[in-house]
Structure 1
Amino acid sequence: MALTQQFARVTPEYLEHCRSSALDSPGASPGWDPPPGDLLDTDWAVWGLIWYCRSTGADVDLIALLDRAVSGDPGGDIGFLDHDEVYDGFDDPPRLLTPAAVAELARDLDAVDLDIVLADLPTATADAAAACGFDGGFRGDVRGYLVGHFTAMREFYGGAARRGQCVVVWTD
């Protein structure tokens, strides 16, 4: 199974509920079950966008923004989510972005002009896939894949910012 980038929008209160559940349950189960509308899977698209930006010498601030959006911030005191109920344990445990960090990311993601970023992306599928670090078996429209998943992530962060929520990120 391929690894994919996962996001969850949750309130600080929900995280406290999960923390309490983990402390009170025999298996340290956090009771993690955000509503489906507050979950997002961007597949490996944003990683491909980051790869492309790095390989083309894109602005380092853009690369840092994208990396932070998928990697979260260090710390965050959510070790209780390091549980197989939340993620498969293959990669690093989930990381947290606080409501303030989410608001900052949402604002900065809104300012990204993806048409400019992808202006030199090759039009041939194989060439575009290679430019993004995807294997030779990629099928479909690479630009559409990147834009669609980036747009979903931007809207996800925007929704979390408007609602004053945290975002938890992990790879599964």
Structure 2
Amino acid sequence: MATFFVGLLLWRHDGAASWAATGSVLNFVLSTTLKKMLNQERPVSHFKRSDPGMPSSHAQSIFYASTLAIISMVQYQGFSCFTMLLCPLIFSLASYLSWLRVSHQFHTINQVKVGAVIGAAFSILWIWLWEAFVLNAFISYSWVRNVVTLGAVAYCLSLMVSISQSFFNRIEEA
């Protein structure tokens, strides 16, 4: 998902892309917070993962991104043969990737369902906030453009730090 949003920022490099990338970070924070609050175990405890399983953060992230992609595509392309074919394909791919979390026993089906619903709902809310409030302010005020842009920069920097930490942790384990 991180690669998807970095690619989106590099390709579009506009306010909407920055807003979407910032939303993906907040969606992940929401997932982490809910995991701590709900504290539901994963189905198989012999995996190295010790964090709780509810909701599935993978499903939540996948459905945040796929819902965002579907809505954005329909907004920009309208209802055409292309979008009518691609939208179900995106949804099917998101469902399949989320189902893999169940098939590999990282999550229960309910943990994945809850993650998918939360991710899709957060995406819809995030897009609505952009269109209802932030877009007009983004166009009108430079400080809003700066905040949204800084959010995107913070996203990229946090991604680089996370990847670096993961890389060095793997070196230490080896």
**TM-score (normalised: structure 1):** 0.27
More strand by share: 1
Say which structure, 1 or 2, has more relative contact order (CA 8 Å, 6+ apart): 1
More helix by share: 2
